[in-house]
Copies of this chain bind each other. A is one copy, B any other.
Amino acid sequence: MPEHADGRRRKGERRRRALLDATLRLVGEHGAAALTQRSVAAEAGVPPSAVLYYFSSVDELLVAALTTVNDRYVDRLAGVGTVAELVDVLDEWSRSDRSLTVAEYELLLLAVRRPDLAPQLRRWDDALEATARRLLPAAPERRPLLVACVNGLCLAAVLGSPADPAVLRRI
């Protein structure tokens, strides 16, 4: 089940992933509103009808893509055990490919209005909360401050201001 030797399915899954990647690229660069059946098909190099073969609707493709990018961020946060590592992660997010981070915020904004995406929002929240608990086990009253700062710095990264690592250690 996890490994399919079937060449038919293998090629199918490769195309499915190509569609997800193309979706993230488009959303990051031009916004979630610019994601259309035809645009994502062109970006992925497949005929438009293939989009609706692998996903039952364009909206489902969008949700699937944004869920995978949320996975990535939550996993990354879960691996953080020290303040220094947190600084590294934030620095990496500021510096590396911005369009992915932008896509993450498109997801958050989308989730505000769509109850079916609320779990994704909670996953991000919970991951951040858990990280704060790990980094500040003895100072529960400072955790909300840490959470707010991380969110603020992520936002600043998206908006273009590079976060200064020195600033972070002041907590």
A residues adjacent to B (C-beta < 8 A) = 29-33, 102, 105-106, 108-113, 121, 125, 141-142, 144-145, 147-153, 155-156, 158-161, 164, 167, 170-171
Contacts and interface: CB of A to CB of B under 8 A. Distances in A.
Given A113-B29, A152-B151, A170-B145, A160 B121 contact: yes
Contacts of A125: 159, 161
Contact of A148 (B121, B156, B160): B156
Contacts of A145: 149, 167, 170-171
Could you say how many copies of this chain the assembly holds?
Answer: 2
A151 B156 contact: yes
A159 B112 CA distance: 6
Nearest to A121: B159
Given A121-B159, A159-B121, A109 B105 contact: yes
Contacts of A112: 102, 158-160
